[in-house]
Amino acid sequence: MSSDNLAHHQSTINHVLNTDTFSCVWCGLTVSAQAPDGTRRNHCPSCLHSKHVMDQIEGGPSACGSKMSPIAIAVLRTGDWMIIHRCVRCDELTSNPVSTDDNQLILMRMAVRPLAQPPFPLEAFGTL
Amino acid sequence: MPRRTQSGGRKNRHRPQRYKDVLHGNGGHRANDFRCAGCRLDVSLVAPGTAHRNHCPNCLTSLHVDHRIPGDRASTCHGRMEALSLTVRPDGEWMIIHQCQSCGELSANRIAGDDNMLPLMRLALRPLGAGSIASSALLTTL
């Protein structure tokens, strides 16, 4: 096999077979690092937990490396959902786009969570 | 505003609020009020339910002044922070997630007792709006 043939062969393999995986720090599930749309995953699709590897405030890699739990759903102007993660060790917040195979039960649970315990009586809105 | 009725037997888990010795405004000449960066409302610092008012009670806009620790006043950004979403603490208290409009940083702040109900409910209902992922998720899985 000539050298350019070999290079072509290698690139085809890399394109088709991306077997990069990571195991979730929360639930231990082994997930592929590639989301269905081809982008790189940054949270587990089953329990939506992430790992603190990027420093959001100053940029670059973070020295924390702890677990990040999902706390909220943010909606962009385009209508896309973002998951807000919070580091359990250093309280830093990050936002990541949702993937198409994320657990919709947990996503919906987070989205309706504020409405379960409103801090004011909702009856006041009936008089507006 | 913390809830008076605790769910379950988890009582006495309240951490007292951090003491914050900062001056508002330049040189502290306006020690008792600040002007909102979003709606230009003059806001008093005395807030019911919290010792640290950090956002406007009318439009929920905040200012990016803290760096890593709340109250350290070490940020050099000073951008306007808009309310992005809501989260709930395990004790049922709502927190507003602010995002800085100039550098994109996120921060979580407790709501105060006199915050405007209407923008709070708009934030809470934003993920459930028409044409969003929520409707398609509910229609396909249920």
**pLDDT tens, residue by residue, B48-86:** 888 788 899 999 999 998 888 887 888 888 899 999 999
Average pLDDT per run of 10 along chain A, which is 128 residues long? 50 60 92 88 93 85 91 90 93 91 90 88 81
Sequence-ordered strand ranges (E) for chain B? 33-35, 42-44, 62-63, 80-88, 94-100, 106-110
Closest Cα of chain B to A17: distance in Å?
30
Q: What is the CA radius of gyration of chain A?
A: 20
* Phi, psi dihedral angles at B106 (to 5 degrees): -110, 150
What was the pLDDT predicted at B57?
94
Give A80-114 pLDDT, tens digit per residue: 899 999 999 988 999 999 998 899 899 989 999 99
| Rounded distance between C-alpha atoms, residue A24 and residue A13, angstroms | 26
Nearest chain B Cα to A111, which residue? B127
What was the pLDDT predicted at B27?
53
Closest Cα of chain B to A73: distance in Å?
7
Q: Please, which residues 22-41 of chain A have a Cβ atom closer than 8 Å to chain B?
A: none
**Domain ranges across chain B:** 26-125
CB A44 within 8 A of CB A24: yes
Q: Would the CB atoms of A84 and B87 count as touching at under 8 Å? A: yes
Partner residue facing A119 (CB), from B94, B97, B133: B94
User: Is the Cα torsion angle B57, B133, A69, B74 positive or negative in sign?
Assistant: negative
- Quick check: B28 pLDDT over 70? no
- Quick check: B121 pLDDT over 70? yes
| Rounded distance between C-alpha atoms, residue B53 and residue B65, angstroms | 13
Percentage of the residues of chain A whose pLDDT score is greater than 90: 41
Nearest CA among B132, B69, B91 for reference residue A74: B132
